[in-house]
């Protein structure tokens, strides 16, 4: 489905385009075409391929989808695959945007994502002095929008980790904490798999050998590369924090188990002393001093109670009870 299409010259929109209105002649000067499609049909992709002479291998990737983020050059045209991530209700959904760009056009094919890029187009049109830099600037604006989304998701995951860390000390529910931490690690892995390859390919768009379409805006690509590098660094810090929180949770479980073991051991010692004394007085011997003493039975009970009390006091002072 065509979301938007237009011809631009010198940073200004000349006219809106439909797929059946693509110009037959190659645009000259500063003019270029910007077309955005959402969940394109195979016929629409083939129409773009025929009109813009797109490479068959790139078209095959666009047809198949579910590609790893990458950047490839086919002559003067760049083909890139970028993962679109959305974080809702604690889950990251994965979409994809395939972008074809050279000095005459930029084509974006968005699949399996409700993420809106109309704001990117408005931003570019509101800055004609930058839009006149051509499709390379539009490519940068799309990447910048995606990287901002990655940063927001990283922040949301960090907030989730902080809430789990607070809960670990306030709520004794180790199984729930471990489950939340494992789910958080899964989400961070999804984000990492999207961000790391993107970091690698944005690095090819500034400094060194830069594709012609990106040469005039390579400083902008360096800026978005720095933003993504900080996001990846925060993500690595998040993953370390998840590991630390998991170890902390397990340590608290071990401490709680140790406290229970100490209490059981203390009560076992108290009852063992009482059992030993009761066993001595319970033996059936004929010659025992207490048998002929009127107060022998109360004295035995008092001795058992006194020993048990002394043991209880000792364990209490030691912190075992």
Q: b/e map of 6-20 (b: 16 or more CB within 10 Å)? A: bbbbebeeeeebeee
Give phi and psi for 264, each to the nearest 5.
-60, -40
For residue range 48-73, list pLDDT tens digits in order.
999 999 999 999 999 887 778 999 99
For residue range 139-163, list pLDDT tens digits in order.
999 999 999 999 999 999 999 999 9
For residue range 152-197, list pLDDT tens digits in order.
999 999 999 999 999 888 877 788 888 999 999 999 999 999 999 9
Q: How far is it, in rounded angstroms, from Cα 101 to Cα 74?
A: 10
pLDDT for res 284: 62
Q: Would you tell me the crossing angle of helices 218-281 and 135-170 to the nearest 10 degrees?
A: 10
Residue from 101, 111, 114 nearest 142 by CA: 101
Give phi and psi for 109, each to the nearest 5.
-120, 105
For residue range 86-98, list pLDDT tens digits in order.
999 889 999 999 9
Look at 101-115, 212-226, 236-250, 258-272 and tell me which has the smallest mean pLDDT: 258-272
When pLDDT is averaged across residues 110-122 and rounded to a whole number, the result is 89
* Alpha-carbon separation of residue 313 from 55, 164, 273 (angstroms): 85, 38, 14
DSSP assignment letter at 38? E
Element (H, E) at 74: strand 70-74
* Six-digit token string for 233: 């660094």
For residue range 242-289, list pLDDT tens digits in order.
999 988 888 887 877 777 777 777 788 778 877 877 776 666 666 666
pLDDT for res 266: 79
Three-class SS state of 54? coil
Q: Would you tell me the crossing angle of helices 218-281 and 296-317 to the nearest 10 degrees?
A: 160
């Amino acid at each position: 489905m065509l979301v938007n299409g237009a011809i631009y010259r010198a940073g200004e929109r000349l006219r809106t385009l439909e797929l059946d209105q693509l110009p037959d002649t190659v645009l000259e000067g500063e003019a270029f075409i910007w077309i955005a499609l959402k969940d394109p049909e195979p016929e629409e992709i083939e129409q773009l391929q025929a009109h813009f002479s797109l490479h068959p291998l790139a078209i095959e990737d666009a047809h198949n989808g579910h590609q790893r983020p990458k950047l490839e050059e086919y002559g003067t045209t760049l083909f890139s695959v970028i993962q679109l991530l959305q974080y809702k209700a604690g889950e990251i959904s994965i979409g994809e945007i395939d972008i074809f760009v050279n000095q005459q056009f930029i084509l974006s094919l968005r699949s399996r994502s409700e993420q809106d890029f109309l704001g990117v187009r408005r931003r570019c049109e509101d800055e004609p002095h930058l839009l006149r830099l051509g499709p390379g600037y539009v490519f940068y604006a799309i990447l910048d929008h995606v990287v901002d989304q990655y940063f927001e998701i990283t922040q949301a995951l960090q907030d989730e980790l902080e809430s789990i860390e607070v809960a670990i000390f306030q709520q004794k529910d180790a199984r729930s904490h471990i489950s939340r931490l494992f789910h958080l690690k899964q989400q961070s892995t999804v984000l990492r798999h999207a961000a790391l390859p993107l970091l690698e390919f944005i690095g090819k768009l500034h400094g060194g050998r830069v594709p012609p379409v990106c040469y005039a805006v390579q400083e902008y690509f360096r800026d978005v590369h720095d933003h993504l590098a900080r996001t990846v660094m925060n993500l690595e810090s998040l993953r370390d924090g998840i590991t630390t929180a998991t170890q902390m949770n397990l340590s608290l479980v071990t401490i709680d188990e140790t406290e229970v073991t100490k209490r059981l051991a203390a009560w076992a010692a108290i009852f063992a002393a009482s059992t030993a004394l009761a066993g001595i007085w319970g033996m059936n011997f004929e010659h025992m001093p207490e048998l002929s003493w009127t107060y022998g039975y109360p004295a035995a009970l008092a001795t058992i109670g006194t020993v048990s009390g002394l043991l209880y006091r000792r364990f209490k002072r030691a912190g075992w009870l």
